Amino acid sequence: MKPRVIVIGAGPAGMLAAGRAAEEGANVLLLEKNSQPGRKILVTGKGRCNLTNACDADEYIANMVGNGSFLFSAFHAFPSSEVIRFFNDLGLPTKVERGSRVFPVRDRAMDVVDTLQRYLKGDRVEIRYHTAADGIHVENGRATAVTATTGERFHGNSLILATGGASYPGTGSTGDGYRIAEALGHTIVPLKPALIPLEVVEPWIGQLQGLSLRNVRATAWTEARSGEKKLGEEFGEMLFTHYGVSGPIIFTLSRPVAAALAKIEREGGERKRGGRSQSAGVWLSINLKPALSEEQLDSRLQRDLTRFSRKQFRNSLDELLPKKMIPVFVDLSGIPPEKPVHQITRGERQRLLELLTDFRVTVTGTRPLREAIVTAGGVSVKEIDPRTMESRMVPGLFFAGEVIDVDGNTGGFNLQTAFCTGYLAGKHAARAASHQ
């Protein structure tokens, strides 16, 4: 009789783990609380699914900012080059875009889910939908069964916990795995949002809702005793929302910003900046024209002002800024909207240059954890063998994906983590099961 491996969670990590365990010769049961697999995959990359990043090990680990070194063995076992080959061999063509991000050629996340389902069918994995795990049974110090919320008990020789994080609960990631692991004695590192939109205080932010900016540079700052402290800097795309800012470069900056906000909250008291009291003490400086030096930008601005010298100021910025941004920009400049362009002073032009290179928003917080792309925190990596993904506390129990305390930047790194930890967990869970 074949050894049995039970996988909890049919997300990217769980599906890869289930398929890999079956390839190793195990009889695999995959339990999924939803009516279909891979629901979180469908919302990644704006529905396009950035399934990995075509990078080497050093770059991958550097971009896994939460415990990246723990993933050294997992990445080498199933690197991004092998992930790409895996999907290509299963009939899914891929393409590499800016930043080495890898997408399906048709830009459809559903194609990734369909490919993983074909993988499971090919390896004869049994999937039980509408079956949520409630706990794991341990006998003689070893994980031996999964108890479902229905009261059913499923026995296995090895178990894999791949329930995801606590963000996007509508996809099924409701934090079940943390509760299950903690009940077994595992340490759960406190959860917090990673890759999350930011809320800002400026009342005019709603006027920019829906505006997307490309090729801009955003720098996050906070206050320190020695003066302003730079938290991070990113170049690329961002988006204004009714509550603040979002988009790829904001997601990457959100981790250090959230940490700085938490520190301020712990320390208490208000910070002062620009002559007024600020409860946040963290802000973003957006360079709207980072490709131009200050001298080049000044020359460009002077040319535009000369060209539109007969116009009113508010009608002179169409070629410099997105239309939706102009009213806000004019208001922040302090220059009367009706002022003839030829009357703009050198000091006013300097103010325009400052706004173009240092367009500021004051950050007050992050959006709720449920809106995070990735959850930071989770099962402590100190209690997991990085070579196999097996629990150091409960033999026969393996972990894969976001339930582990690992998280990374945008760009395909987090899905790469799901796939390589799933690969390692599936491989070693099957081998461990065969020895029972």
Give average pLDDT by consecutive 10-residue segment, the chain, 436 residues. 92 98 97 94 90 97 96 98 98 96 97 97 90 96 96 97 86 87 97 93 96 97 86 96 96 93 77 40 96 94 92 94 96 96 95 97 93 92 98 98 96 97 98 91
pLDDT at 272: 42
Domain edge (last residue) among 308, 332, 366: 366
Residues 280, 341 within the same domain: yes
Which tokens belong to 81? 């080059």
**pLDDT tens, 96-144?**
999 999 999 999 999 999 999 999 987 789 999 999 999 999 999 999 9
Q: How far is CA 167 from CA 17, 163, 172, in A?
A: 21, 11, 9
Spatial contact of 340 and 312, defined as CB atoms under 8 Å apart: yes
Please count the structural domains in the chain. Answer: 2
Q: What residue spans of 90-142 are helical by DSSP H? A: 109-122
- Number of residues assigned to the chain: 436
pTM of the model: 0.89
In this structure, what CATH number is given to the domain that contains residue 225?
A: 1.10.8.50
CA 362 to chain centre: 22
Return the exposure string of 291-312: e unless at least 16 CB atoms fall within 10 Å of the residue's CB, then b. Answer: ebeeeebbebbeebbeebeeee
Residues sharing a CB contact under 8 Å with residue 214, sequence separation 6 or more, in sequence order: 236, 237
Residues 306, 230 within the same domain: yes
Percent of the chain with pLDDT over 90: 85
Residues 337, 399 within the same domain: no
Q: How far is CA 319 from CA 38, 308, 329, 359, in A?
A: 44, 11, 14, 18
Q: Tell me, what DSSP letter sits at residue 339?
A: S
Residues 170, 26 within the same domain: yes
**pLDDT tens, 47-62?**
999 999 999 999 999 9
Spatial contact of 11 and 401, defined as CB atoms under 8 Å apart: yes
Residues 294, 337 within the same domain: yes
Residues 278, 318 within the same domain: yes
Q: Is the dihedral of CA 368, 373, 378, 380 positive or negative?
A: negative
Q: How far apart are CA 310 and CA 306, in angstroms?
A: 9
Residues 297, 395 within the same domain: no
pLDDT at 220: 98
The type of residue at 8 is I
The H or E element containing residue 356 is: helix 346-357
| Structural domain of 406 | 4-193+375-434
pLDDT at 174: 82
pLDDT at 266: 82
pLDDT at 81: 98
